[in-house]
Amino acid sequence: RDWLEKNSETSEPIWIEFYNDGTESISYSDALDAALAYGWIDSMIKKIDERIYIRKFSRRHPASRWLEINKKRVVKLTKTKEITKHGIAAVEEAKKNGQWNRGDEREGIIDFEGLRDILKNRMEDISRFDQLTDLLKLHYSLV
């Protein structure tokens, strides 16, 4: 959050390392919340090796689509007063240009929370599922 406070308006996209082996670092969920709070979003993922993957974060483009799960996160960030003026501006722009209500035609196909509940009873480490983007969750749920 400190970095975003200083750089959210001027910085180029950044790549953040995440670890699959329990190495202490920021969680994907916390990184995404911080990004949304400052009007940023995550996108691409690249595997570095068996332990490490990186995820790209950048300022949200005004024409980008808002997934329902991210809208829910923004509501939570607003209630907890964690959202900043930059995040509010991104939401207002999306509402103004229609992207907020555009939705995603893939949404509603899969109940990710329900799928998560099923998987947590079958997986040793549900955190791997939690780290996936909604698109990857959708892909794996349809396979």
Per-residue pLDDT of the chain in tens (143 residues, 90 and over written 9): 888 888 888 789 999 999 988 888 898 999 999 999 999 999 888 889 988 999 999 999 988 889 888 999 999 999 999 999 999 999 999 999 998 988 655 555 556 667 677 777 776 667 777 777 776 776 666 55
Full-prediction pTM beyond 0.85? no
d(CA 126, CA 141): 14
The pLDDT of residue 87 is 96
Using the Cα atoms of residue 27, residue 32, residue 33 and residue 39 in order, give the sign of their dihedral. positive
The pLDDT of residue 136 is 72
The pLDDT of residue 35 is 96
The pLDDT of residue 125 is 65
d(CA 80, CA 63): 27
Q: Which residues, at least 6 apart from 47, have a Cβ–Cβ distance to it below 8 Å?
A: 53
d(CA 71, CA 131): 18
The phi, psi pair for 57, rounded to 5°, reads: -125, 140
Token duo for residue 111: 């109940």
End-to-end CA distance of the chain: 36
Percent helix, strand and coil across the chain, each rounded to 5? 50, 15, 35
The pLDDT of residue 117 is 74
